Structure 1
Amino acid sequence: MGKKKKDTMELRFYEVPQNEYVLALLGDSWIRDYGHDESNLHFHNLMEIGYCKHGTGELILNEESKPYEPAMVSIIPQNYPHVTISDSDSGPSFWEYLFFDPMVMIQELYPDNPVVQKKILQMVNQKALFFHEWENPGVSVLVKMIMDEMRQKKKRFHECVRGLMITLFAELLRMCENDVAEDEIRKKTGVSQITPALEYVRNEYANNIRVEELAKASHMSETHFRRVFESYMNMSPMDYINLMRVQKACDIMKKTNDSMDVVAQKVGFTTTSTFNRNFKKYLNTSPYQWKISPENYERKLLNYNISALKGW
């Protein structure tokens, strides 16, 4: 018997629009046949909330399969492997999505308390949640209200979305706190072997990161870690670190007028030339050119995948 083919995992970057709290993916363009098989796992740099409007199929959450049907809600943490697979017999499914950075909500709720912020972030990122609308009507109503606000964009919708998102995140904390004890001993296997390394990079990208540290976080030898990481991600650990730094640099450039030297330093590049070289590698343009035309960023980075598989 031959060796089992390893899973392939895709990285999909999404960016919350400037001055907004969520990126909303709504409308008929999300009526589609989802997924191909359970090996086509992907993960996001943001937290994902999905609402199934119609269709049936299964949602693979890490290594667990969950059947879905209309009026179901999924809440999937950052860096959490998953894939949606439509039932071929029932036709296309219709999901709508919200993407957001949980740290923004955490800082709204717990300002000036980095210890609590870190603890809360770890808690909400440790498990995906999936439930029928009737099982948690409060959360479901909030999700649909946010989607409607983002769809209609009436006057003062920014303020409404902010309030709804804070309330939704507080409800999410309640749900996570109820489930913490059940999952403390759960062993990480499969593609989630490298999840600790992904989390490490997300938290420490601005510092000097050695592959040895990532291997240690994942409880592997460095040689074995490099092999496992590249087999899942189709890029080296250092390439992933630099990709994360480029993504963070784009975020800084959208929100500040910092010089390129300062941006490079903030995201962990030791020299501006190294920053320029990596930026060009991933976005095929210079930081300066991107800065004066930032609308190109969402289209380019949205379609960037670590694997060779086509993304959304």
Structure 2
Amino acid sequence: MAKPKKTVIEYRNYELPLNFPVLLLTGDRWHISDVKSGKLHFHNCLEIGICHSDSGIIEFDNTPYPFKAGDITFISRNVPHTTYSNKGEASLWSYIFIQPDELLKGVYSDSSPYAEVFADMLQNFQLILNKEDYPEIYFIIRTAMDELQNKRINYQLSVKGLMLSLFMKVMRVYSENKGKKLDDKDAHENAIVISPALDYIKENYMMNFPMEELADLCHLSQTHFRRVFHEIMNTSPLNYLNTTRILQSCILLRTTEESILSISEQVGFRSVSSYNRHFSEIMGTQPSEWRHKMARVDSASILEYTGWMQAQTLTESRDK
């Protein structure tokens, strides 16, 4: 029996300016072929796209999703995908490639109420929205693209402000889709008060310690600490600790061959059943299934490109 053909995944690395990590790709060059390439690709930064004309399919991990003119797409770094137009069409796109964590550095730090949502969104984000349903999001992106294209005075500051507004709105949509509540209230003015607890969890997540110890570090009573922590982080101290453990376990699942039992113990869970339950709640799947999915990406043949500054034309695609 012939071996199954190995999936080929292209890695596209976009070199973004260090002081302003945003890149616009737009114009008539960005007509997308109606020929499916047979390859998935991923890149080193978040991709924001607007479809200006026609329709087609975006595949995430070989699952197809339709798109049409007026759709907005958000695709995180490291998410394998491919895009192709419907037969006989050549959809026109504009793209912004961005590193939001660098552009908005400090806004969603560990003490931010929504740092967890922001970090999760940057790693596990694949979303298609339509401008009719989300006109404000569409307007912000089009305005940012106009600023990036025309480069008028203070355009970088304008784009940064637009992106801050954009990500706040998109985080709400993402949170609703993930089943997480995201309040509209501003960040707690005294967020720094729980910084010792956040630092301790970051350094000692693999240890078993009482939540009372975190309250002592912050010089707060247990009741007051739990209330303030929830106001700031929008979750309980224990849930935050378990989320930190799960995210750390993802690194071990992807980079080692150790058993799930061993990994669960290394990140601080007392039983593998507890680990599996929390993993499923946070990641939406079981550890073994997540590892299998990531193995598909990691074991694929990776073709590396330093960005693609031009879409493949219909003729080029058909000739390959």
| TM-score, with length taken from structure 2 | 0.57
What is the number of equivalent residue pairs in this alignment?
A: 218
Confirm or deny: 8 A CA contact 1:106 1:120 kept in the other structure: no
Alpha carbons of structure 1 residues 210 and 98: separation in structure 2 relative to 1, 3 Å:
closer
Alpha carbons of structure 1 residues 151 and 64: separation in structure 2 relative to 1, 3 Å:
same
Alpha carbons of structure 1 residues 85 and 156: separation in structure 2 relative to 1, 3 Å:
same
Deviates more, 1:224-233 or 1:138-147: 224-233
Counterpart-to-counterpart distance in 2, 1:225 and 1:157: 40
Counterpart-to-counterpart distance in 2, 1:40 and 1:57: 16
Opposite residue 301 of structure 1, the aligned amino acid is T
Aligned to 1:5: 5
- 3-state SS of the aligned residue for 1:54? coil
Aligned to 1:84: 83
Q: Please say if 1:146 is aligned against 2:151.
A: no
Once the two structures are TM-superposed, the CA of residue 30 in structure 1 deviates from its matched residue by: 1.1
Once the two structures are TM-superposed, the CA of residue 31 in structure 1 deviates from its matched residue by: 2.3
Opposite residue 14 of structure 1, the aligned amino acid is Y
Alpha carbons of structure 1 residues 26 and 226: separation in structure 2 relative to 1, 3 Å:
closer
Once the two structures are TM-superposed, the CA of residue 44 in structure 1 deviates from its matched residue by: 1.2
* Pairing 1:1-312 to 2, within 5 Å after superposition: 4-33=4-33, 36-37=36-37, 39-90=38-89, 92-105=90-103, 107-111=105-109, 113=111, 117-181=115-179, 200=251, 211-212=255-256, 219=288, 228=296, 231-234=299-302, 301-302=306-307
Once the two structures are TM-superposed, the CA of residue 101 in structure 1 deviates from its matched residue by: 1.1
Alpha carbons of structure 1 residues 30 and 77: separation in structure 2 relative to 1, 3 Å:
same
Higher helix share: 1
Once the two structures are TM-superposed, the CA of residue 106 in structure 1 deviates from its matched residue by: 5.1
Opposite residue 19 of structure 2, the aligned amino acid is N
Opposite residue 42 of structure 1, the aligned amino acid is H
**Tell me, which stretches of 5 or more residues in structure 2 are unaligned?**
181-246, 264-286, 309-315
Counterpart-to-counterpart distance in 2, 1:83 and 1:152: 29
- 3-state SS of the aligned residue for 1:20? coil
Confirm or deny: 8 A CA contact 1:106 1:117 kept in the other structure: no
Once the two structures are TM-superposed, the CA of residue 301 in structure 1 deviates from its matched residue by: 2.5
Counterpart-to-counterpart distance in 2, 1:98 and 1:27: 12
Alpha carbons of structure 1 residues 156 and 58: separation in structure 2 relative to 1, 3 Å:
same
Confirm or deny: 8 A CA contact 2:13 2:44 kept in the other structure: yes
Alpha carbons of structure 1 residues 227 and 167: separation in structure 2 relative to 1, 3 Å:
closer
Once the two structures are TM-superposed, the CA of residue 230 in structure 1 deviates from its matched residue by: 5.8
- 3-state SS of the aligned residue for 2:92? strand
> Deviations for 1:216-274, whole angstroms, at most 9, x for unmatched residues?
68749x9x999855641348xxxxxxxxxxxxxxxxxxxxxxxxxxxxxxxxxxxxxxx
Alpha carbons of structure 1 residues 166 and 34: separation in structure 2 relative to 1, 3 Å:
farther
With a CA cutoff of 8 Å and minimum separation of 6, indicate the structure with the bigger relative contact order: 2
Alpha carbons of structure 1 residues 61 and 214: separation in structure 2 relative to 1, 3 Å:
farther
Counterpart-to-counterpart distance in 1, 2:84 and 2:299: 23
Confirm or deny: 8 A CA contact 2:13 2:43 kept in the other structure: yes
- 3-state SS of the aligned residue for 1:174? helix
Opposite residue 55 of structure 2, the aligned amino acid is T
- Identical pairs, percent: 27
Once the two structures are TM-superposed, the CA of residue 49 in structure 1 deviates from its matched residue by: 0.5
Confirm or deny: 8 A CA contact 2:23 2:96 kept in the other structure: yes
Alpha carbons of structure 1 residues 229 and 85: separation in structure 2 relative to 1, 3 Å:
closer
Once the two structures are TM-superposed, the CA of residue 137 in structure 1 deviates from its matched residue by: 0.6
Alpha carbons of structure 1 residues 141 and 115: separation in structure 2 relative to 1, 3 Å:
closer
Alpha carbons of structure 1 residues 116 and 65: separation in structure 2 relative to 1, 3 Å:
same
Alpha carbons of structure 1 residues 121 and 71: separation in structure 2 relative to 1, 3 Å:
same
Confirm or deny: 8 A CA contact 2:46 2:122 kept in the other structure: no
- 3-state SS of the aligned residue for 2:153? coil
Once the two structures are TM-superposed, the CA of residue 4 in structure 1 deviates from its matched residue by: 4.8
Counterpart-to-counterpart distance in 2, 1:75 and 1:52: 12
Counterpart-to-counterpart distance in 1, 2:144 and 2:48: 11
Aligned to 2:266: none
- 3-state SS of the aligned residue for 1:93? coil
RMSD: 3.8
Alpha carbons of structure 1 residues 200 and 129: separation in structure 2 relative to 1, 3 Å:
same
